[in-house]
Homo-oligomer: A and B are copies of this chain.
Amino acid sequence: MVESWSSFDTVESNFRPLVVIELAKDTKEETIEWLTKRIVDKKADGGAQLLIKPLVMENGVENIYLVGASHLRLLLGAETVGLVKECSDNSMRAFTYSSRKTFKHFADDNHDFLTMAECQYIIKHELENLRAKNEKMIPGYPQAKLYPGKSIVRRLLTSGILVQIFPLHDREELKKLSHSWYGRVKVGYQPLDDIRCYFGETIALYFGFLEYFTFALIPMAVIGIPYYVFAWEDYDKYVMFATFNLLWSTVILEVWKRICAILTYRWGTLLMKRQFEEPRPGFHGVLGINPVTGREEPVYSSIKRQLRIYLVSLPFVCLCLYFSLYVMMIYFDLEQWALDYHNENESNFSSLMLYVPSIIYAVVIEIMNRIYRYAAEFLTSWENHRLESSYQNHLILKVLVFNFLNCFASLFYIAFVLFDMKLLRQSLATLLITSQILNQFAESLLPYWLQKRYNRRMKKGVCSKKTDTDLSLAEQVNMEKEMGTYLGTFDDYLELFLQFGYVSLFSCVYPLAAVFAVLNNITEIYSDALKMCRVYKRPFAEPTANIGVWQLAFETMSVISVVTNCILIGMSPQVDALFPDSKMDLVLTVALVEHLLLAIKFIMAFVIPDKPRDIQTKLAKLEFESLEALKQQVRVFQMQLHFLLIHH
């Protein structure tokens, strides 16, 4: 049934390999046969109606399969997943096969109408939606149970028969993309549309946010520089800087929503209908009836989950927070010890020693964050959430709370308990710069080293070939399957979130933070781009219309920063000197200003529309059209009915 396909006849065949399936080396023959049959079977027979061919490796092992699809199949799949494309009249519409002629650049022989990333997304969607019919188990593996409606691929993954599924790189495209992205030494915007075509919307939106955020920080950085250069310490200048920062951070977060709407409208994801969410792969429970779908599927009592969350996860998180505070106190002991040492025997070495506790603490914070991350993932997975989105929300909440406390607790302690502004400035600088260096190392130097090693290895393997694009398909697959897997944008956003905290929470004490953030983000763009193109396997494209819960996280941070900055300014000796008679008046003034700023923030967030006017008009137009179409349908039906009634 499945033709064998040697590793050198790629060019002539009209089968275009898109997705790689790697099975376990000892997978039974009957399982492979069943799986390939299900994948190529007609949709009407419950199959995925895709093409699959084994890839014969040089060592003769046959555990890797290439999946593709006919052009027609992909177009029908695009309709199923609800892709939105641009029409000839420049409006964005959900693609349907019957209206295909109205879309821009559509031609029956134009195989570039769907981007490769879209094709791969469609194939992934079809594979994941390949569901068991009457199979009670995976043939050959009686312990891998199935029930009608269970996703076959997800069961294969959880039982270890399927090692991985990943989309293939397009070496030609990748080379073009990486050249225009980070290849040229030239200041300019990133090619976001090309990134989106190659990596999908989630990743393109992350890079869009990173770029936007960097630009947005520039005014802060520019205003911050003279404070450092001229060592301005006047209260009125600080107040101005802090007020600007607070209002600015509200404005940039609101404006981002508008830019995000513009981008995702252009990419079509703003209009994409939400698909019904299936249970996540790791979800388990006794078989029962889902009250929503009426289908048989694992059911896990919500009360049990609540108990796990409140009796295990919550105490664990609190314990971790306590531990983090404990480590912080040790840091302050160390700090005190270094200071004593410096006072006793003053020397160059001892003044250098003053910075050592902060640096050690910064490293320890990074290590704790990473360890906690694993614990949080384990716990959230153990809570057994049914939906991926609910899993993600619980994970993000756990990680954010801990990282926030872990990174900023010492700064809060220094600022509001020790009242030591000099130490605060020094700690802030050390923490920010150390964490940036650590991250740059983990994301830029490490990838660079990995790439070097990989280049060496590749040269050894294929001496005759000179560039990556000349690699044979088998060599390419073999190489890519060994690359690391990109685990999503979570860590990248988290890094930006913490950076935003360093910049905004204590901005009036250390205006230079924005400068470091800008510098870091510029290199971050390059190192992240390198990481995406060179270090990791190509990730599947994920359509998305916004940055999700991160918008809320950034907004919360900017609210907290209003409070901290107001207190800091109120505590500064210059402001103090303004109210010589009564401390009361000072505190009341600060409280009043803080409430005013918060009120202005909320009013601004309310007044600035989330979508630009032209996008609003376009969306209204689409909604109007669909309502009209519905009405038309009702009208036609009513006319037919009247006709019938009259003639009987």
Contact = CB atoms under 8 A, between A and B. Distances in A.
A355 to B, nearest CB: 33
Interface string A69-109: 00010001001100000000000000001100000000000
Contact of A634 (B79, B595, B635, B637): B79
Given A80-B631, A595-B563, A637-B98, A624 B292 contact: yes
Interface string A627-648: 1100100110111011001000
Contacts of A72: 645
Contacts of A294: 621
Interface in A600-644: 613, 617, 620-621, 623-624, 627-628, 631, 634-635, 637-639, 641-642
B97 A620 contact: no
A163 interface: no
A627 B276 contact: yes
A487 interface: no
A487 to B, nearest CB: 27
B43 A638 contact: yes
Contacts of A635: 43
A620 B641 CA distance: 32
A46 to B, nearest CB: 11
In the complex, which of the residues A292, A621, A628, A641 has the most CB atoms of chain B within 10 Å of its own CB atom?
A: A292
A352 interface: no
Contacts of A291: 617, 621
Interface stretch (A200-208, A364-372, A583-591): A583-591
Contacts of A292: 617, 620-621, 624
Given A43-B635, A80-B631, A637-B98, A624 B276 contact: yes
Given A620-B292, A621-B292, A275 B627 contact: yes
Nearest to A552: B606
A59 interface: no
A231 interface: no
Interface string A42-79: 11100000000000000000000000000010001001
B584 A641 contact: no
A79 B636 CA distance: 13
Contact of A293 (B302, B588, B624, B637): B624
Contacts of A613: 302
B595 A639 contact: no
A587 B570 CA distance: 13
Nearest to A294: B621
Nearest to A556: B602
Interface string A149-181: 000000000000000000000000000000000
A488 B427 CA distance: 60
A639 B275 contact: no
Nearest to A129: B631
Contacts of A624: 276, 292-293
A157 B276 CA distance: 46
Given A292-B621, A584-B584, A634-B80, A97 B43 contact: no
B641 A97 contact: yes
A97 B97 CA distance: 29
In the complex, which of the residues A43, A98, A276, A563 has the most CB atoms of chain B within 10 Å of its own CB atom?
A: A276
A524 B631 CA distance: 42
A639 B49 CA distance: 12
Nearest to A97: B641
A591 to B, nearest CB: 5
A404 to B, nearest CB: 14
A640 to B, nearest CB: 10
Contacts of A302: 613
Contact of A43 (B80, B595, B621, B639): B639
Contacts of A641: 76, 97
Contacts of A76: 634, 638, 641
Contacts of A638: 43, 76, 97
Interface string A284-315: 00000001111000000010000000000000
A421 B182 CA distance: 68
A289 to B, nearest CB: 12
Given A43-B638, A97-B637, A583-B584, 5 more contacts: A43-B639, A97-B638, A275-B627, A276-B628, A293-B624
Interface of A: 42-44, 72, 76, 79-80, 97-98, 275-276, 291-294, 302, 563, 583-584, 587-588, 591, 595, 613, 617, 620-621, 623-624, 627-628, 631, 634-635, 637-639, 641-642, 645
25 contacts: A42-B642, A43-B635, A43-B639, A43-B642, A44-B639, A44-B642, A72-B645, A76-B638, A76-B641, A80-B631, A80-B634, A97-B637, A97-B638, A276-B624, A276-B627, A276-B628, A292-B617, A292-B620, A292-B621, A293-B621, A293-B624, A302-B613, A583-B584, A584-B587, A587-B591
